[in-house]
Amino acid sequence: MASPLPIWRLSDGRRGHDNQSLGLIEALQRLVAVHCTQIAVSGAIAGALDVLAARSRRPSLVIGAGHATHLALIAAAHRHRARSVVLMNPSLPRRLFDLCIVPRHDAVRGGGNVLLSLGALNRMQAASAPRDAREALVLLGGPSRHHAWDDAAMLEQIRALAAAAPDLRWVAAGSPRTPVSMLAALARLPAWTVVRFEDTSAQWLPERLARAGVVWVSEDSVSMAYEAVSSGAPTGVLAVPARGGDNRVQAATQALLDAGLAIGIAEWRAGARPRTPQRPLQEADRCARALLERWPGLA
């Protein structure tokens, strides 16, 4: 029996970045035996020192997401003659990494050491158990550098959805960016359950996505939109006013709509309804296979 593939996963402690690196490693585990060591990095330069001081099993592969992991990835790969994989368009030159897995909406050319993905990787897999057709899940973001926010406009969209399906159990969940005023307005709606981000665990969203009969995600929350379609949930996208300039978040959401993996609220008003995708998005698995094909000697 072959020895498990030794991997170091570098973590900056941010849930979104951990979601990406764990998604790739769990996909690798579905293909080969893996021995994964998590190493916390405390910053750009400090992170490099963290990995140089680490005494864990020597890695063959070092994986990280987030700018704070970049120098640490390079340092660990150089010291241990390992392959480095960064899960984003890095702030350092891409040639310094063995593989960059970059979302297509970042408008980077693929090829060479760049593997393009449809959205950021995540841990979601298509649910195998039957969905609860009576439960509707609404996932909300909030104002950001790419999007503004309008409580009244969002509430109007949500009221229209609920009025069209009054028999459903509606659950709304906020994010760290969701205005308190938005959650308060939803809490006043009859028979709605409103969940604050602070009251959720890392497993709350995957468990809800696995069973919800339909999911609606605000347009600014691109990572949650990609998690929803990766879970195989029928998914809709709620409109949020965009700020001017290069809006890559809006481009990422539009890619889901163009691929037929989700519908927008305008399509819903025209009579379309979210549908279970024939083939759920499974980018982590595709990238894991591509990685092992690139370096067959790893496993």
Q: pLDDT tens digits for 270-282?
A: 999 999 888 889 9
> Buried b / exposed e across 219-232, counting CB within 10 Å, b at 16+?
bbbbbbbbbbbbbb
Residue 63 has pLDDT above 90, yes or no: yes
- Write out the two tokens for 210: 């696995």
Q: Whole-model pTM? A: 0.88
- The secondary element (H helix, E strand) that includes residue 158 is helix 151-164
Residue 54 has pLDDT above 80, yes or no: no
Using an 8 Å Cβ cutoff, are 299 and 5 in contact? yes
**pLDDT average, residue stretch 113-120:** 95
For residue range 211-243, list pLDDT tens digits in order: 999 999 999 999 999 999 999 999 999 999 988
R_g (Cα) of the chain, nearest Å: 20
Query: What residues does 217 pair with on adjacent strands?
Result: 139, 237
pLDDT value of residue 58: 87
pLDDT value of residue 46: 57
pLDDT value of residue 45: 62
Which domains occur in the chain, in start order?
Answer: 5-121+283-298 (3.40.50.2300), 132-269 (3.40.50.2000)
> Cα separations (Å) of 251 from 26, 105, 119, 221, 245?
27, 6, 10, 12, 12
Listed in order, strand segments (DSSP E) in the chain are 5-11, 34-40, 61-64, 83-86, 99-103, 114-117, 132-139, 169-173, 192-195, 212-218, 235-238, 263-264
pLDDT value of residue 47: 55
Residue 94 vs residue 251, higher pLDDT: 94
For the chain, the farthest-separated pair of C-alpha atoms sits apart, in whole angstroms, at 60
Average pLDDT over the chain, rounded to whole?
91
pLDDT value of residue 228: 95
For residue range 135-182, list pLDDT tens digits in order: 999 999 999 988 999 999 999 999 999 999 999 999 999 999 999 999
Residue 44 has pLDDT above 70, yes or no: no
**pLDDT average, residue stretch 235-258:** 87
- Write out the two tokens for 165: 């399906």
